[in-house]
Amino acid sequence: MNYLPSDYLPIIVQLVLALGFIVITMLVTHNIGPKRNSKLKDEPFECGIEAKGDARTPISIKYFLVAILFVLFDVEVIFMYPWAVNFKKLGLFGFGEMILFMGLLLAGFYYIIKKGVLEWEK
């Protein structure tokens, strides 16, 4: 296999097309459409309900906790990829090690549940 620089031409064409489409649509809509500003039109669409407050209101710390826990448990999956690829070669020993690893992970999960972090309404 040998790639020449010219082989990358389709990618560049695709890139130019995608960028061009976005730029052109933005220019066209801004220039062709009529502009009528009023107080009502400038408001964010809220189904007729008046908008109030700031979009950046502080949200519950629970979202944050769950997100962090997700990151922690999510990343551990990467250790399973090399294990799965070498599953046959590692045999029973590898299986036992993975069970141990999962057991430790589950101990952490059990701790979280016991602490009541995942109870949404408390």
Partner 1 sequence: MFPQVAPSIPQVIQLIPLNNYLWLSTALFVIGIVGVLTRRNAIVVFMSIELMLNAVNLLLVAFSSYRSDPTGQVFVFFIMAVAAAEVAVGLAIIVMIYRNSRSIDIGFLNKLKF
Partner 2 sequence: MLSIILLSIFGIVVLFLGFQKSKNILLPATLLCIAIAFAANFVHWNDAPGLYFKEMLFENRLTMSFSAIVLLSAFLVVALTRGFADDEAAQPAEYYAIILFSLVGAIMMIGFDNLIMLFLGVEILSVSMYVLTGSDKRNLRSNEAALKYFLMGAFATGIMLFGIALLYGATGSFNLTDIRGYVGTNSFSISTLLYVGLLLVLIGMLFKVSAAPFHFWTPDVYDGAPTVFTAFMSTIVKTAGFAAIYRLLSGSFEGIYNFWWFTLAAITILTLVVGNITAVYQQSFKRMMAYSSISHAGYLLLSLTAMTAQTPDAIVFYSLAYSLATVSAFGVLMAVAREKSVQSHENAEDFEAFNGLGKRNPLLAFVLTVSMLSLAGIPLTAGFWGKFFIFGTIVERGNLIWMLIVAILMSAVGIYYYFKVIIATYMKDGETGALRVPPFYRIVLIVSTTLTLLFGLIPKLLS
Instruction: Tell me if 64 contacts partner 1 by CB under 8 A.
Output: yes
* Nearest-angstrom CA–CA distance, 73 and 108: 9
* Nearest-angstrom CA–CA distance, 93 and 99: 10
Q: Which stretch binds partner 1 (CB under 8 A): 16-24, 38-46, 76-84, 105-113?
A: 76-84
Instruction: Tell me if 3 contacts partner 1 by CB under 8 A.
Output: yes
Rounded least distance, CB 117 to partner 2, Å = 13
Instruction: Tell me if 114 contacts partner 2 by CB under 8 A.
Output: yes
* Nearest-angstrom CA–CA distance, 36 and 59: 35
CA distances from 100 to 63, 80, 106, 113 (A): 30, 13, 10, 20
Here's the x/- map for partner 2, 85-104, by CB under 8 A: it reads as -------------------x
* Nearest-angstrom CA–CA distance, 73 and 75: 6
Q: Which of 72, 84, 111, 118 binds partner 2 (CB under 8 A)?
A: 111
* Contact footprint for partner 2 (CB under 8 A): 104, 107, 111, 114
